[in-house]
Structure 1
């Protein structure tokens, strides 16, 4: 017997396991959850996919948290992180039923698509990284994908008859019997109606209702059925997560700060030159600008969007330098000094951008984009102040402060009636004679129903361009266009999925 044969176990070489089956732990809670998950998927199809991010999605978010609370219990309220995300997500969902600005609705939909999974995965306890670490986004994305696609058999295991559970064994026959009965009735009722005129007259309303709604209902049910195993698998993984393999925390490394110091020095020098030129234009006045071939208004009312953009680049650069530089030696001291200088320059750039924006608004008035630019500059200033503290205290957890700050800032701007303020400013300027031109079409079509109350202050005989779904279709009096918009608001309010407080208030304006 050779050495290889001596090393084998007594029974011979190990054999591969045959027919390995993943075992799911199924209880009465899972059996209750499965039909509820199907109903939620049906609601989601009927709201988000059919009407977009409107009040229907608000209801879907509330039902989603009801499912989580029913399945996970008090886990939903156990931690400070979970309670905050619950409040933020419900507030974002509520804005869909309050306002009618489609820019905010689209952005809030994206925010909910990001925050709802982050919150749900955090409830499972399977994650390792805390919420203030940016890399937790990748970790929770992986856990989300594993929950959606790694537990598809859980729904089948829940619905399949169990040997020791007589009640569960009757679920599948019940479903098959109901489907067969519906299919048979769908065939027999039209046949009998064609065979007997009296039966046809008696069932005319029923058949009209079925022909109108049955096809959509079937497609929605099929789509919900396809979605249910994925959603149920995700919910199953939240209660029974697959633990992550924890590795030892790597020692904090870093790179030589000399490279970052050179980059920071070059950028800081460029901004010093830029701010010097800005100061020359500011204190030199119109005569100095005329020598350069520029008017004062042309110079002052340009470039604010670009300056806001470069502050984002500056913030990213200085955070990378402070976080990844090796914290020792003269290079580290240079990185901190240059980062502090870059932070101060960025704040001055923001101040210059705000000043230019104010000059622009003084001449042309407010618009939705200009209001959001003001908000963005305020948020960037707050982030830069947090970055300045990070430079002063390198161990300060920047994201732990900035993430809640960003959420709070976004909730605040959602509470501000931006469209109403824009319309009021534009109409006030026009009526006072401060502006001889009013873009009524912008206020009427590009913004929400909140502008209608201000447009009613104008002369109803004003001729405006009328728009269809995409293009201009002619001209009409403002009073007629306002009534059309109010009718659109009434149409929105007629369906609970598209109802909003903004549309309801606008619909009453024409009463």
Structure 2
């Protein structure tokens, strides 16, 4: 890889350092809030500046990815769910990387093929290689005017120091544990370096890491890759035997038909059977039915992908069998949905239960498309699965699942007088707002006043930095400060 640097490249490197500073300020100072959104603004401003005049490809799907990235980043500003907070730290960078590679790739590259994953890693490897070559060029630049023998000596000394560091840590640890006097001597060494601020050094390292990550990646994506093409890949890596597959599908469908006929009243009566408690009835049945449904989806996808269905009569018969399998899965999903609803009515709404409900609705959408795919073969399963999964995940971030949980639990309290205050308190600031609403309705609710007093004291003592600003946190703290609890 030959590098040619011009004035615009040096300006771009400087801008990458500015965005690296923004990244360090956004992610390594305090809890993430509005800072993620500000970083995304800075990052994409850098990207579009570098690629001004560039002819982007795959624009429709690229716009979808871009919208999802921005919505997920806005989630840190609007909501504060701890599950999505942790997950999006990995999901957003992955989507950004996928988006950048996609829109800068060639038009004939197919992103919905498995080979595109290798293409993504090739770009990542190219960015690392680019930075190594850039570092080599910088070494040659600083080498100018220096005696060759002296440069080689300093180079080898630096390499030796880097190699010695991990060995010295191990050896020093063993020696310090072996001799108390030596341990005291080494314990006083940090005082020799009081002039060096370790935190400043760490932050400089973080800024430089971000700088060269952005710089290397965007520089590599600018380079045209002529020989890296991803073909349609219509040839299957292996095929499943048609007769064996039909036999398996017939047996599976026969079991489902018998099971549904025998257990239909048990599935949909909404009453307990035998000596089951609500927890045993709902939990046991729910997880088993969801697992079986996922098995059915896997079987259906494998058959649609790896079975040759070109023969007319066999093709129609297999379509009928797959349709029966999808319909059976729909019945199992309905039963699981009703079981979970019964469990929620008895024990209340939690994040896991609401997410399970939403996932079942998502599975219904997946099965509906799969049913269409059974009869219209030209449709792409992976294309739809990926896009629908992306939209589902983004929607779950945007709608604030915890607000649904709080609303449903308050409605349940108004109807039954039952509510788990400690669970609402364990939620994010959305749960605190729910507790404030409950207090305004029923100030005498046992235990509620003590929880709110503790939360109000925390709100009065909180000192939130600008990076952590969050709408829900601000609303909850304001409501707590207005409460008269004495």
TM-score (norm 1): 0.74
Cα distance, 1:503 vs. partner? 0.8
Partner of residue 114 from structure 1, selected from 69, 91, 94: 94
- Structure 1 335/297 Cα, relative in aligned 2: closer, same or farther at 3 Å? same
Contact 1:37 1:228 in 2 (8 A): yes
Q: Once structures 1 and 2 are overlaid, which stretch shifts more, 323-332 or 108-117?
A: 323-332
Per-residue deviation, residues 270-318 of structure 1 (Å, max 9, x unmatched): 322332343042578869x34xx54688535642233223322221221
Question: 2-side partners of 1:439 and 1:160: how far apart?
Answer: 67
**Structure 2 equivalent of residue 482 of structure 1:** 455
Contact 2:34 2:76 in 1 (8 A): yes
**Structure 1 equivalent of residue 286 of structure 2:** 304
**Structure 2 equivalent of residue 317 of structure 1:** 299
Matches for 1:102-501 after TM superposition, within 5 Å: 102-125=82-105, 129-154=109-134, 157=137, 215-246=198-229, 252-253=235-236, 255=239, 256-282=241-267, 289-290=273-274, 293-294=275-276, 299=281, 302-329=284-311, 331-432=314-415, 434-436=416-418, 438-445=419-426, 447-456=427-436, 457-458=438-439, 464=447, 477-487=450-460, 490-491=462-463, 494-501=464-471
- Runs of 4+ off more than 6 Å: none
**Structure 2 equivalent of residue 48 of structure 1:** 27
Question: 1-side partners of 2:282 and 2:379: how far apart?
Answer: 38
Cα distance, 1:161 vs. partner? 5.5
Question: 2-side partners of 1:276 and 1:425: how far apart?
Answer: 34
**Structure 2 equivalent of residue 80 of structure 1:** 60
Cα distance, 1:371 vs. partner? 1.2
Question: 2-side partners of 1:159 and 1:82: how far apart?
Answer: 38
Cα distance, 1:135 vs. partner? 4.2
Query: Is residue 504 from structure 1 mapped to residue 477 from structure 2 by the alignment?
Result: no
Cα distance, 1:32 vs. partner? 0.9
Question: 1-side partners of 2:269 and 2:471: how far apart?
Answer: 51
Question: 1-side partners of 2:70 and 2:62: how far apart?
Answer: 12
Per-residue deviation, residues 194-235 of structure 1 (Å, max 9, x unmatched): xxxxxxxxxxxxxxxxx9995433320123224433432111
Question: 2-side partners of 1:242 and 1:313: how far apart?
Answer: 40
In our comparison, the structure showing a higher alpha carbon Rg is 1
Contact 2:406 2:424 in 1 (8 A): yes
Contact 1:45 1:224 in 2 (8 A): yes
**Structure 2 equivalent of residue 168 of structure 1:** none
- Structure 1 431/81 Cα, relative in aligned 2: closer, same or farther at 3 Å? closer
- Structure 1 57/148 Cα, relative in aligned 2: closer, same or farther at 3 Å? farther
TM-score (norm 2): 0.77
Cα distance, 1:111 vs. partner? 2.2
Question: 2-side partners of 1:364 and 1:356: how far apart?
Answer: 12
RMSD of the alignment, in Å?
A: 3.3
**Structure 2 equivalent of residue 174 of structure 1:** none
Q: Once structures 1 and 2 are overlaid, which stretch shifts more, 407-416 or 346-355?
A: 407-416
Question: 1-side partners of 2:428 and 2:35: how far apart?
Answer: 18
Question: 2-side partners of 1:448 and 1:158: how far apart?
Answer: 48
Cα distance, 1:321 vs. partner? 0.7
Cα distance, 1:343 vs. partner? 0.8
- Structure 1 76/370 Cα, relative in aligned 2: closer, same or farther at 3 Å? farther
Question: 1-side partners of 2:435 and 2:391: how far apart?
Answer: 32
Contact 1:127 1:140 in 2 (8 A): no
The alignment covers a number of residue pairs equal to 424
Cα distance, 1:50 vs. partner? 4.2
Q: Once structures 1 and 2 are overlaid, which stretch shifts more, 240-249 or 495-504?
A: 240-249
Cα distance, 1:345 vs. partner? 0.8
- Structure 1 454/296 Cα, relative in aligned 2: closer, same or farther at 3 Å? closer
Q: Where does structure 2 lack aligned partners over 5 or more consecutive residues? A: 143-193
Contact 2:113 2:232 in 1 (8 A): no
Contact 1:286 1:296 in 2 (8 A): no
Per-residue deviation, residues 237-261 of structure 1 (Å, max 9, x unmatched): 0111443444876553462323333
